[in-house]
Amino acid sequence: MTLWIGLLLGLILLGAALYWLLIVTEGVFLGRRMVVWLYDITAHKYDGIKAFDDEAERFFVVRPLRHHLRHIPTPLILDVAAGTGRLSSYMLDEATFNGRIIGLDPARKMLNLAALKLAPYRHRAMLVQGTAVPLPFPDNSFHAVTCLESLEFFPSDQAALAEMTRVLKPGGVLMVTRRRGKDAKFFLNRSRSREQFESMLTDLGLVGVNTQPWQLDYDQVFGKKS
């Protein structure tokens, strides 16, 4: 009897550990390759799970980016962890946006879906398979660098943000997200308070760093390269 209870408890603990490792934290404690593999095998479900709301995306993603880039006629944007092309498709769909976007992501199947979505904007969208560290671009290349809902899944958010800052042009804008909400604590020492996140960006040389509440699970954080 005691043996069966022990086995049952063991199974429950194992199930909870696997749920935490694979579902809640999406493989981040098992290494970069595991994160990318999980995105590859679930890519076909991604947009359905996220169910992006067009109006909210235009208001919270397109509008602030357009505002920061309003004085640049043809901005060049880098979207790190582009996924299925969320940011690129909403930006390029905006009639008043005349810029170009490079989307970078290591998960081939996420990029394949992005390519389908971005086909109508072929001449203004480019997709690159790669990771956030190192970014395969020269210093001071982009008017804006974005990274939505992804930093907590990278091996080091700080190293990735340093790379994003490096490739930003002076005066360029960074738009990223900080994980918050009830699940943030499951990321253990990878979770950062608003103050910690803002001071990390300031230490990287960004100015005017500010946080805007966005969704239950994410803040948006903006900064400019001085």
Q: Does 132 bind ligand SAM (CB under 6 A)?
A: yes
Q: Does 214 bind ligand SAM (CB under 6 A)?
A: no
Which residue, 13 or 52, is less far from ligand SAM as judged by CB? Answer: 52
Starting at the edge strand found earlier in the chain, the sheet holding 125-129 runs 125-129, 100-105, 76-80, 142-147, 168-179, 218-225, 206-213
Beta carbon of residue 32, minimum distance to ligand SAM (angstroms, whole number): 5
Footprint (CB under 6 A) of ligand SAM, residues 74-103: 80-83, 86
Stretch that binds ligand SAM, among 68-76, 121-129, 150-158, 214-222 (CB under 6 A): 150-158
Q: Does 149 bind ligand SAM (CB under 6 A)?
A: yes
Q: Does 25 bind ligand SAM (CB under 6 A)?
A: no
* Cα–Cα distance measured from residue 221 to residue 209, given in angstroms and rounded to the nearest whole number: 7
DSSP element (H, E) containing 159? helix 157-167
Per DSSP (E only), the strands in 75-160 are 76-80, 100-105, 125-129, 142-147
Tell me the two tokens of residue 210.
């500010």
- Binding residue for ligand SAM, selected from 90, 142, 153, 214, defined by CB under 6 A: 153
Which residue, 132 or 145, is less far from ligand SAM as judged by CB? Answer: 132
- Binding residue for ligand SAM, selected from 25, 36, 68, 172, defined by CB under 6 A: 36
Residue 51: Cβ-neighbour burial (10 angstroms; 0-12, 13-18, 19+): exposed
Evaluate the CA torsion angle 38, 119, 62, 98 in order and state its sign. Answer: positive
Given the rule CB under 6 A, which residues bind ligand SAM? 32, 35-36, 39, 80-83, 86, 105-107, 110, 131-132, 148-150, 153-154
